[in-house]
Structure 1
Amino acid sequence: MTRRITWTLLVLTSLLLLLAVVPLAVSLTARERVAFRDSQRAATRVIAAVAEEHLSDNQPPTVMREELDAAARAGDCAAVYDASGRVVARTPCAAAEGEEAEIMVREVLDGHRPAEPPQSRGRLVTAEPAGDVRRPAGAVVLARSAGPLDARIAAIWSWSAAIGVAGLAASAVLSVRLARWVSRPLSTLDASARRLGEGVLDERADVEAGPPEVRRLAATFNTMAARTEALVHGHRAVIADVSHQLRTPLAALRLRLDVLAAGAEGDVSTELGAAQEEIARLSRMVDGLLAVARAEQTTPRPMAVPVDEVVAERVAAWGPVAEERGIRLTAVSQGPGPTVALGAGHLEQILDNLIANAVEAVPERGTITLDRGRVGEGVRVVVRDDGPGMTDDAKAFAFRRFGNPEARGTGLGLAIVHRLVTVNGGTARLEDTPGTGLTVVLDLPAWREGATGGAGRQDLNRF
């Protein structure tokens, strides 16, 4: 925007300067030429007046020669011609003689005003009659150097160019300042909107910079951001509070059922066992909602996370559980171990949820494989199993809370995974494993040297 505003104003200023300065310079140049010609003719007429006294009245040529000497001292060249076109007096400079001068003299002696020839050898030539215009007693030719005229014309155009350049420079400075005054607050507002969209809910725009319209827009943005923050925090707080409050009565109810089941027999014991299972499932769901609320409140600071170490750690931790169910849990790697930029503990939580879901879904003698490697500028982590897989409809809603109707658990595990991946700037998607099964593909940002580290580990339950 800054460049567009600056260039637009510069083009408009250039056109205005061109339309104003150039015609003014042309007009001043024409006026200088006319003034120079008028001054030259006046000097020629002075010499012609004293020459007429000598040629017509037979007065001594003393005054005429004095005028010629004065013209010579001024740098002019002059020559006095009689009625026959013969030179009777002249200055030492011979520029007032020659073919062009003789043509002008004949025209003057014939009673015509001679046409002014173009500038010749750096001098301008004029001719005036001595005496009556119709029947002159002679003619005077005066040649004057065009140097002073050229110097004044050059000065006019130089000053015009300087004014134009100064005006253009001033316009450039003002254009840049104006463009920045308008665009900088908009850029700041754009950055604030981007950070708000990335989850920084306490982001606010500066309302003190820029034109009034931009300040009003920033104030409106801040109002919207404040309401959004209040709504989101209120939503999260309700989920967290309700989940937390439900855990205590559920635990108490489960203990009571355990006590009743210990002394019950027959069908009553069976019914109490089924009720205990439902209570346990409801407890897991409440804990899952609490974990989701905590995950949604996470705004991580990225740190360097070695993928190979975390994968090896989680495979070792889940190995006994997989072996107990007859499932083979393995990890493979493509190339050197990559490092990703994630919040502290997030990769462990992501892998725990994915492995837990796969262990629940894969039948006995099935396999779960963790693969990782670099893809372009990022890192790809793949969790692949050969279980029953998911339908296309189920995959379309799997990352939503309770969105998967085929989920055996609470349906919150993939929602937590999706939240933790996307909040760190990555992406997650579901694909079919060749043959049968489900493949979860995670594209995570690679760690770059100099990135900001930090953030303590957050303990979220796995679901």
Structure 2
Amino acid sequence: MTRRITWTLLVLTSVLLVLAVVPLAVSLTARERVAYRDSQRAATRVIAAAAEEHLSDNKPPTAMRQELGAAARAGDCAAVYDTSGRVVASTSCTAAQGEEAEELVKDVLAGHEPEPPENEGRLVAAEPAGEVRRPAGAVVLARSAGPLDARIAAIWGWSAAIGVAGLAASALLSVRLARWVSRPLSTLDVSARRLGEGALDERADVGAGPPEVRRLAATFNTMAARMEALVHGHRAVIADVSHQLRTPLAALRLRLDVLAAEAGGDTAAEFAAAQEEIARLSRLVDGLLAVARAEQAAPRPTAVRVDEVVAERAAAWSPVAEERDVRLTVVSEGPALTVALGAGHLEQVLDNLIANAVDAVPEGGSITLDRGRAGDAVRVFVRDDGPGMTDEAKAVAFRRFGNPQARGAGLGLAIVHRLVTVNGGTARLEDTPGGGLTVVLDLPLWREGGPEPAGRGDLYRF
């Protein structure tokens, strides 16, 4: 943002300076040329007035020669011509004589006003001596254009200096303005990112930047404070539920165990059924707590090697699969891929998916874990050849208790969906070719320069 604001202001200032300074310099140059020409013509008329007294009134040429001497001392070349075009008097230099001067004299003696030419750094002017229609002669004065060129160069030099100074001042002010605007926004962006990563005590600076940015930072702080209060309240509720429900359930299970040990016949069977329901209720409570923890998770992405985690979880679940006569295999082909996930999240996702697949697949069935590259994501597959799901069941499977046909608490896929989506990935269900269910996970690819890998978190399986 700082660069965009700076370049925008610099371009705007440059355009304004060009539109203001260049026309001004052109105008000053034109005025300087006119003033220089007027000065040259005035000097020529002075000599012409003195020459008229000599040519028409037959007075001594003293005044005329004095004016020619003054012109010579000023660095000009001048020559006085009579009505026949003959040089009557001149300065020591001959720049006011020659073919060009003779052409000007002819125009003047004919009663015309000649266009003064500019050749080889000289400005030549011609004026009649006496009346314009009946001149007694003509005066030609040649003046060097060097002083005029120096003044014009000075005008453009000062104009360029003013433009550069204005551009430098604009660059300095634009950089300061851009930083004044962008730094609070950058700080606010960092605070928002840290808040999204789980730093609930993060607050933005409200004392810098424009009033609009300060109000935005204050609004962000209010939102962050309310979010922190809500999350802490949610965590407190989870802790209370965990304590208030697990303790009486454990006590009830112990009492049923004692009563079941002393009972016999139909009573023992009833106690066994009650114990099974208590165990199911305990799993349900643990599942709800796990979903709640997953929903309030705000992970900080870490580098996770997919092939290593897949191999590790497959090895951990192999004894369970062998006990139920289920073949658990891992497709090990392909390059090593790294994803950006919260610490321990991929393990939790795979544990839930493998646990669901092991429960669903009949004896002699198989479960296959695979992964591959899909654009900017890493795609992980968990395939089984179990009974699969209907389209209606797949549409609601990621919701809490969405699948009424689930054998367990029906919360495993809800936890998987929450952990995958909170990390910026997607999860979907497909039919396995030949029968069964395939869970497809698209996980964000790890980029170089990201956060350092962190340790793994707690695992929850339901």
TM-score category, normalised to shorter length: 0.7 to 0.9
Does structure 2 retain, via aligned residues, the 8 Å contact 1:243–1:289?
no
Aligned twin of 2:416: 417
How much does 1:442 deviate? 2.7
Work out the CA distance in 2 between the residues paired with 1:43 and 1:461.
105
Does structure 1 retain, via aligned residues, the 8 Å contact 2:304–2:453?
no
User: Scaled by the length of structure 2, what TM-score is found?
Assistant: 0.88
Alignment map for 1:37-436 (pairs within 5 Å): 37-109=37-109, 112=111, 114-133=113-132, 135-296=134-295, 298-300=297-299, 305-376=304-375, 378-436=377-435
What percentage of aligned pairs have identical amino acids? 84
**1:23-73 deviation line (CA, Å, top 9, x unaligned):** 322322222122212221222223223323333444443443343233233
Work out the CA distance in 1 between the residues paired with 2:456 and 2:113.
103
How much does 1:340 deviate? 4.7
Work out the CA distance in 1 between the residues paired with 2:10 and 2:335.
55
Q: 1:347 to 1:57 in 2, by over 3 A?
A: closer
How much does 1:399 deviate? 2.7
Q: 1:22 to 1:332 in 2, by over 3 A?
A: closer
How much does 1:247 deviate? 0.3
Q: 1:295 to 1:133 in 2, by over 3 A?
A: closer
Does structure 2 retain, via aligned residues, the 8 Å contact 1:122–1:147?
yes
Aligned twin of 1:458: 457
Does structure 2 retain, via aligned residues, the 8 Å contact 1:341–1:445?
yes
Q: 1:305 to 1:105 in 2, by over 3 A?
A: closer
Q: 1:13 to 1:413 in 2, by over 3 A?
A: same
Work out the CA distance in 1 between the residues paired with 2:119 and 2:70.
23
Work out the CA distance in 2 between the residues paired with 1:316 and 1:120.
98
How much does 1:216 deviate? 0.4
Work out the CA distance in 2 between the residues paired with 1:22 and 1:455.
62
Partner of 2:399, secondary structure, is: coil
Work out the CA distance in 2 between the residues paired with 1:130 and 1:313.
114
Alignment map for 1:8-27 (pairs within 5 Å): 8-27=8-27
Partner of 2:126, secondary structure, is: strand
The letter for the 2-side match of 1:9 is L
Q: 1:220 to 1:157 in 2, by over 3 A?
A: same
345-354 vs 443-452, which deviates more?
443-452
How much does 1:220 deviate? 0.6
Partner of 1:439, secondary structure, is: strand
Partner of 2:203, secondary structure, is: coil
RMSD, aligned CA: 3.0
The letter for the 1-side match of 2:153 is A
Does structure 2 retain, via aligned residues, the 8 Å contact 1:186–1:214?
yes
Specify every segment of 5 or more residues in structure 2 that has no aligned partner in the other structure, as ranges: none
The letter for the 1-side match of 2:125 is T
Work out the CA distance in 2 between the residues paired with 1:107 and 1:381.
99
Does structure 2 retain, via aligned residues, the 8 Å contact 1:198–1:423?
no
Work out the CA distance in 2 between the residues paired with 1:366 and 1:251.
36
Partner of 1:334, secondary structure, is: coil
**1:323-373 deviation line (CA, Å, top 9, x unaligned):** 332222222211355455545544333322222111111112211122234
Specify every segment of 5 or more residues in structure 1 that has no aligned partner in the other structure, as ranges: none
Work out the CA distance in 2 between the residues paired with 1:383 and 1:275.
35
How much does 1:95 deviate? 2.5
Does structure 2 retain, via aligned residues, the 8 Å contact 1:295–1:460?
no
Q: 1:284 to 1:423 in 2, by over 3 A?
A: same
User: Scaled by the length of structure 1, what TM-score is found?
Assistant: 0.88
